[in-house]
Amino acid sequence: MKKADEMIMSIPSDVACKLWGVDMGPTNVDIHTDDGRIFNVCLTYSKGNLFLFHGWSNVTQHLGLSE
């Protein structure tokens, strides 16, 4: 597992509800960046929260995101 995958990003349930109409969203999403790249990121649902997980590290590296 890459370090960025250890710092998974939570999607608040109210945001998931606005995006997908339910608290629990899809199992994966495509993230489009301004420079035209598309990243497929898996989502995981745990303890009432939805998280960006596998593939998120590719997004953070591409965008130069850090803690």
Contact 5, 53 (CB under 8 A): yes
Q: What is the pLDDT of residue 27?
A: 79
Q: What is the pLDDT of residue 1?
A: 46
The model's pLDDT over 8-67, given as tens digits with 9 standing for 90+, comes to 678 877 787 787 776 566 778 899 999 999 999 988 887 777 888 889 889 989 999 876
The model's pLDDT over 21-31, given as tens digits with 9 standing for 90+, comes to 765 667 788 99
Q: What is the pLDDT of residue 33?
A: 95
Determine the Cα–Cα distance for residues 65 and 56; give it in Å rounded to an integer.
11
Q: What is the pLDDT of residue 4?
A: 47
